[in-house]
A = this chain, B = another copy of it.
Amino acid sequence: MTVTLKDIASRTGFSVSTVSRVLNGGAEMYRISQKTRLQIEKVAQELKYRPNQLARGLRTKKTQAIGLVIPDISNPFFAHVSRVVQVGMYEAGYILIVCNTDENQDTEIEQIQLLRSKGVDGIIIMPVGLESHHIKELLNSKIPVVLLDRSFKDISANLVLVDNYTGSRKAVEYLLKNGHRRIAIIQGLTNTSTNDMRVKGYIDAHQAYHIEVDENLIVGKDYRRENGYIETKYLLNLNNPPTAIYSTSDMITLGILDAIFEDKLSIPDDISLVSFDDVDYAPYLISPLTAVHQPWQLMGEIAVKLLLKDIKSSGQMEKSRIELKPVLNIRKSVKNLNT
């Protein structure tokens, strides 16, 4: 069905090796004459030859494919990053195999295994959890890897991170500046580097203002919408409810909105809201959302650049650690309690 080198070889009368060399641009290196070169190229065109990438990959150990391992591609932040990565890698001649982990470490391990057995040339991963055993093994395997968005302690790898701590502190300090003293935080998956740094930012912001944090106001356990909904319901029913909620992720925010509007409350009059992750629609929400914007475009581009560099240097490159700053986009979802 599909046309192979052999077909071209038999049609032209040359050997498979010669055809291969011509088609790979090794013409003058192997001193193939113009005449045969043109002839082979012509037939290749006619037959619409496409090299079988499997065979090629088997031989060369290069697949021109990379894996992208992310928690959930339907999350706008990840979707945007994926997009940037896909385009960047495609321009460099690579295709993208996308894997969702659903924040499940077992799934993540499986996916990595699978990618490796597929022989990908590199992996960009947003790992889940703090336990990094399988990631360390991956790094040791000498296959180029970039950790994106999330990281681990004591790890030597290409890292593209966002300063979650500072971003979080800015967000919470903004609330504090506006007179809020009971600020709830709905966290995402605990033991994920992003989450934990965001929580730390929240706590340290309070300390900087000499305000004790109420442990009851630190709630939540994962990045799903339902988590935001449930925890908000809980918070709103507290005897002494918070005046503001700080959401650590866009999906959580959606759940928070579900709960708030179900109770017919309004933002920011009844409750203030700040969110990590700035979605496209944030400016146009009922109450334009004050949110921490992550530079996903840059993150994706840098991750691509690092990975490509690593692939080219075949492991000889010293690893880079790049940390980007998020910015707080102030809109109207926070009430000023000072006046």
Chain A residues proximal to chain B, CB less than 8 Å: 1, 50-55, 57-58, 63, 65, 72-74, 76, 79-80, 82-83, 86-87, 90, 95-100, 102, 113-119, 141-142, 254, 257, 261, 279-281, 283-286, 288
Most buried by B among A63, A95, A102: A95
Chain B residue at minimum C-beta to C-beta distance from A280: B254
**Bound-complex Cα distance A118 to B56 (A):** 10
Task: State whether B118 touches A54 (Cβ < 8 A).
Answer: yes
CB-defined A-B contacts under 8 Å, sample of 9: A52-B58, A52-B117, A53-B117, A53-B119, A55-B58, A73-B86, A74-B82, A281-B281, A285-B285
Extra 4 A-B pairs, beta carbons < 8 Å, given A90-B100, A96-B97, A96-B98: A1-B142, A58-B58, A74-B79, A86-B98
Task: State whether A261 touches B281 (Cβ < 8 A).
Answer: no
**Bound-complex Cα distance A97 to B74 (A):** 16
Within 8 Å CB of A284, what residues of B?
Answer: 257, 261, 285-286
Within 8 Å CB of A51, what residues of B?
Answer: 117
Within 8 Å CB of A257, what residues of B?
Answer: 281, 283-284
Contact of A254 among B72, B73, B281 (CB under 8 A): B281
**Bound-complex Cα distance A283 to B254 (A):** 10
User: Shortest distance in angstroms between A80's beta carbon and chain B's nearest beta carbon?
Assistant: 5
User: Shortest distance in angstroms between A331's beta carbon and chain B's nearest beta carbon?
Assistant: 11
Contact of A50 among B63, B90, B116 (CB under 8 A): B116
Within 8 Å CB of A117, what residues of B?
Answer: 50-53
User: Shortest distance in angstroms between A264's beta carbon and chain B's nearest beta carbon?
Assistant: 13
User: Shortest distance in angstroms between A293's beta carbon and chain B's nearest beta carbon?
Assistant: 15
Chain B residue at minimum C-beta to C-beta distance from A93: B114
Within 8 Å CB of A98, what residues of B?
Answer: 82, 86, 96-98
Within 8 Å CB of A95, what residues of B?
Answer: 97, 99, 114-115, 118
User: Shortest distance in angstroms between A323's beta carbon and chain B's nearest beta carbon?
Assistant: 24
Within 8 Å CB of A50, what residues of B?
Answer: 113, 116-117
User: Shortest distance in angstroms between A262's beta carbon and chain B's nearest beta carbon?
Assistant: 11
**Bound-complex Cα distance A254 to B280 (A):** 8
Task: State whether A82 touches B86 (Cβ < 8 A).
Answer: no
Task: State whether A97 touches B65 (Cβ < 8 A).
Answer: yes
- Contact of A73 with B73 at beta-carbon distance under 8 Å, contacts A54-B118, A86-B100 already known: yes
User: Shortest distance in angstroms between A96's beta carbon and chain B's nearest beta carbon?
Assistant: 6
User: Shortest distance in angstroms between A143's beta carbon and chain B's nearest beta carbon?
Assistant: 10
**Bound-complex Cα distance A102 to B178 (A):** 43
**Bound-complex Cα distance A73 to B73 (A):** 9
User: Shortest distance in angstroms between A69's beta carbon and chain B's nearest beta carbon?
Assistant: 11
**Bound-complex Cα distance A79 to B72 (A):** 9
